[in-house]
Structure 1
Amino acid sequence: MLDIKFVRAEPDKIRADLKKRNDLERLFWVDELLAGDVSVRELKVEIDTLRQRRNTISRDINAERKAGRDTTALMEEAKALPEKIKALDLLKDEMEAKVRYYLMRLPNILDESVPFGKDDTENVEIKRVGTPRIFSFPVQNHGQLAVDKGWADFERAARTSGAGFSYLKGNLALLDMALQRYAIDLLMKKGFTPIIPPYMMNRSSYEGVTDLADFEDVMYKIEDADSYLIATSEHPMCAMYQDEIFEEKDLPLRLAGLSPCFRKEIGSHGIDSKGLFRVHQFHKVEQFVFCKPEDSPAIHEELLANAEELYTNLGLPYHVVLICTGDIGTVAAKKYDIEVWMPREEAYREVVSCSNCTAYQAVRLGMRMRDPSNFEQKHHIHTLNSTEVATSRTIRAILENYQQEDGSVEIPVVLRPYMNDQEYL
């Protein structure tokens, strides 16, 4: 969320940012938030004054009694003070909840380089890498090919778990694991620490990471428990250091999360909607970095380059798009997507999301850095995240782009050491 000090100091900047997003509803929240914040501060002063009076009135009563004067008015005042304080405390709590409601839901301030646009059709392509292969035969449906080859079973998975799940078998299971291990190995060489996080989070921690209005409808909640299955390892990695103080020497901290991801919503239907592109459960290796504010723009480009390196090494054609104001969501200040070429659709489809969230998550989770020049001074850090590989979508891309006319699939060279040196599935 935005720091309340920033909101007080820069309300016009927040309003201008909301206009960029064409977010007219939340535009009116700024005035409500500021008015509520003033009320909270005024109530705190009034409550403190009354508490001080409560602490001194007994002395005044004793002094008046010793002087032989009437203490009736003072006694009535003393009797009324606890109820007055209680009523004002309740009002303050109500106003603080209102202020926090708005603070938690105002979006991050966009980076100046984010292009204006109304939706994902106006995202800006910034580069293309690789040339889509021209096939001399019809490309088979990746899901049907996997079934025919005995690499996947969607029907039995639907019976045991419902639509949107799969059993990966044999070579395809190995390919999934190969992608995970290759991604981890690449990141470890760049100073990332592998992390296997908890696969469930409580609501309080989840609200610190993201606007649950964006995610709650797609998340699985554990019945009768304060637990959600994670939608991505970004979330538990971000919450890992909530309410902690970093020393400057410990930043940047680079983590490589490995986890299954669970999501209710699997997207709209389209070509090859049955298969591995839209699923409720998949594996992902995620990059996550905690850093000093001045380092986050360069680290954002670094995370993008790491993901590009993986897809370049896999030999998959892709392009990079800069996400526009109308498609960026609440948490990120700037976001890139990598979209890989899918021959069956003859279109690029998203496989990587790469975001600089600046201080937005750190404010929500109380994560700060100690100022080395002033031990008592603390500043909010920045957080960044990026997919390194989402296995299900990448497997689909491999099955299509490397498909042979006889139905076999060539294995990308960099994955062969993880696949017992096989050259083909």
Structure 2
Amino acid sequence: MIDPRVLRDDPDRVRAAQAKRGLSDEVVDRALAADGARRAAIAEYEAKRSQQKSMGKQVAQAQGEEKQELLARTKELSAEVKAAEAAQGEAEAAWQEALLSIPNLAAEEAPAGGEDDYVVLEHVGTPRDLQAEGITPRDHVELGRMLGAIDLERGAKVSGSRFYFLTGVGAELEFALVNLANATAREHGFTQVVAPSMVKPRAMEGTGFLGQAADDVYRIEGQDMYLVGTSEVPMAAFHSEEILDGASLPLRYAAFSPCFRKEAGSHGTDTRGIIRVHWFDKVEMFVYTTVEESFAEHQRLLDIEKSFLEKLELAYRVIDTAAGDLGLSAQRKFDCEAWIPTQGRYRELTSTSNCTEFQTRRLDTRGRFGQEIRPVATLNGTLCAIPRTIVAILETHQQADGSVRVPEALRPYLGRDVLEPVTA
């Protein structure tokens, strides 16, 4: 959640942030009113409790008829205290609900607007023009079939649409990518983690995924559990309700996990192949640090993502995501989008977000800095989302006969220089 002091002391800043995301500022007025009602309810309850304590002393000293009158009044006051306590609880709940519905305040540098209002920060590499090389482009579906790497038909038969099997060199390619991603993470001082893919509601809510993204989340019926869409969720909750040693920061983790997404709202979009699927594996970077250091750390995560794409010899661009396309928790987000030859456009492969204190306030993760205890910042960054990375590799490095050249950085993990077709 946002810092309540910012809401109280500078509500116009919050209103401006809402406008930048294209959202109504009604929630700001609602939250301020709820805060006022909460404070009034606290004052009323404390006044009643004080009166109750004072009357208790009077009863102890009173005699006869006066004592009976005081006892009668004490009974009435007890009911009033209970009512005031209940009102205080309701006011607190209304305040928390309003506060939790306000997204993180988008960075001043983030572009205003929606999904199409991003700003391109840089292009890296030259998109491959296969036709200019005399190659008839094959998409990843055809290449996957020829290589015996991707089986969409059996994926649909077994699990339904947007599921798939990786077989043969497809499965080998996943493991090679995971190993390269893990080696890259270790090079940069990250602790490797295998994270659970099922979490309690607190973890999901604490990371903001039961807000605007709730429709895309799988809930396990009959259990109070959710399947995660990213290991950002369990890693954000990893240190929940803890006070970290400020001297130990930053804490850098690289977590592997399966990820599950309903892809709600994507009906008819990317229905061919494995660009947009319900399940995939991913290696995700996650960092705990101070807010002051979070901005430099954000750039560091982006640089690591860029270096990984360059190891895969992919042409890509970096975009600064517009405020209206940020997740609830993000203050700013950069996406790296790789060139997909058969689509003739860039598609997102990785992203990195600075969530500042938004998640840690919800999950009660703080740091001790001398005599001061305060919330820390969290950041996340995709190092390798397997299916889309496979798509980019197959299409970018395809050759005229349907074989695929393996990027040099992957060869030690894959044990071959070229993926050869097994069928025409």
The interval holding the TM-score normalised by the smaller chain is over 0.9
Q: Distance in 1 between matches of 2:157 and 2:416?
A: 35
Q: CA offset at residue 268 of structure 1? A: 4.8
Q: Give yes or no for contact 1:105–1:211 (8 Å, CA) kept in 2.
A: no
- 1:48 Cα offset (Å): 2.2
| Separation (CA, whole Å) in 2 of partners of 1:189 and 1:285 | 15
Task: Specify the alignment match of 2:401 in structure 1.
Answer: 406
Cα separation, 2, equivalents of 1:342 and 1:276: 13
Aligned-partner SS, 1:326: helix
Unpaired runs of 5+ residues, structure 1, are none
Q: Does 1:74 align with 2:73?
A: no
Which region of structure 1 is more displaced relative to structure 2, 318-327 or 204-213?
204-213
Q: Does 2:121 correspond to 1:126?
A: yes
Letter in 2 for 1:207: E
Residue 10 (structure 1) shift = 1.8
Task: Render the CA deviation track for 1:378-397: whole Å, top value 9, x for unaligned.
Answer: 11111111101111001001
Q: What is the Cα deviation at residue 97 of structure 1?
A: 1.3
Partner of 1:163: 161
Residue 269 of structure 1 is matched in structure 2 by: 268
Partner letter of residue 109 of structure 1? L
After superposition, the Cα gap between the structure-2 partners of 1:256 and 1:352, relative to the gap in structure 1 and judged at 3 Å, is same
Q: 1:104 maps to which residue?
A: 100
Establish whether residue 172 from structure 1 lines up as the match of residue 167 from structure 2. Answer: no
CA distance in 2, matches of 1:274, 1:324: 27
Aligned equivalent of 2:19: 19
C-alpha distance in 2 between matches for 1:285 and 1:211: 19
**Any residues of structure 2 matched to 1:149-228 within 5 Å, and which?**
149-228=147-226
Separation in 1 of the partners of 2:59 and 2:285? 65
Q: Which residue of 2 aligns with 1:94?
A: 90
Shift of 1:211: 4.2
Paired with 1:159 and 1:211, the residues of 2 have a C-alpha distance of: 30
CA contact (8 A) 2:219 2:225 kept: yes
Offset at 1:354? 0.8
Alpha-carbon distance, 1:313 to partner: 1.2
Task: Kindly state the Cα deviation for residue 87 of structure 1 after the two structures are TM-superposed.
Answer: 1.4
- Find the counterpart in structure 1 of residue 346 from structure 2: 348
Task: Pick the aligned partner of 2:311 from 310, 313, 318.
Answer: 313
Residue 291 of structure 1 aligns with an amino acid whose one-letter code is T
1:136-151 matches, within 5 Å, as 136-151=134-149
Q: What is the letter of the counterpart of residue 203 of structure 1?
A: P
Residue type of the alignment partner of 2:13: K
Gaps of 5+ in 2: none
SS in 2 for 1:212: coil
Partner Cα separation in structure 2 for residue 123 and residue 59 of structure 1:
67
**Counterpart-to-counterpart distance in 2, 1:151 and 1:223:** 33
Which range is displaced more, 300-309 or 106-115? 106-115
Give, as a single letter, the amino acid of the residue that structure 2 aligns with 1:193: T
2:283 maps to what in 1?
A: 285
The CA distance in 2 between the partners of 1:344 and 1:139, in whole Å, is 6
AA at the equivalent of 1:237: M
Cα shift at 1:55: 2.9
User: Could you say what the CA RMSD is over the residues aligned between the two structures, in angstroms?
Assistant: 1.5
Q: Deviation at 1:274?
A: 1.9
SS at match of 1:352: strand
Residue 133 of structure 1 and its aligned partner are, at CA, apart by: 1.1
Deviation at 1:69, TM superposition (A): 5.3
Q: Which residue of 2 aligns with 1:390?
A: 385
Q: Please tell me whether the aligned partners of residues 129 and 317 of structure 1 are also in contact (alpha carbons under 8 angstroms).
A: yes
Equivalent in the alignment of 2:10? 10
The Cα offsets for residues 1-44 of structure 1, whole Å up to 9 and x where unpaired, read as 112223222212111211222212xx111122112112212222
Work out the CA distance in 2 between the residues paired with 1:83 and 1:138: 82
d(CA) in 2 for partners of 1:48 and 1:420?
72
The amino acid of 2:310's aligned partner reads T
Q: Give the TM-score normalised by the residue count of structure 2.
A: 0.95
What percentage of residue pairs aligned between the two structures are identical?
Answer: 38
Q: Which amino acid aligns with 1:2?
A: I
1:125-157, Cα deviation, whole Å (9 max, x unpaired): 010001011212221121132123322221122
What is the CA distance between 1:329 and its match in structure 2? 2.9
Counterpart AA for 2:104: N
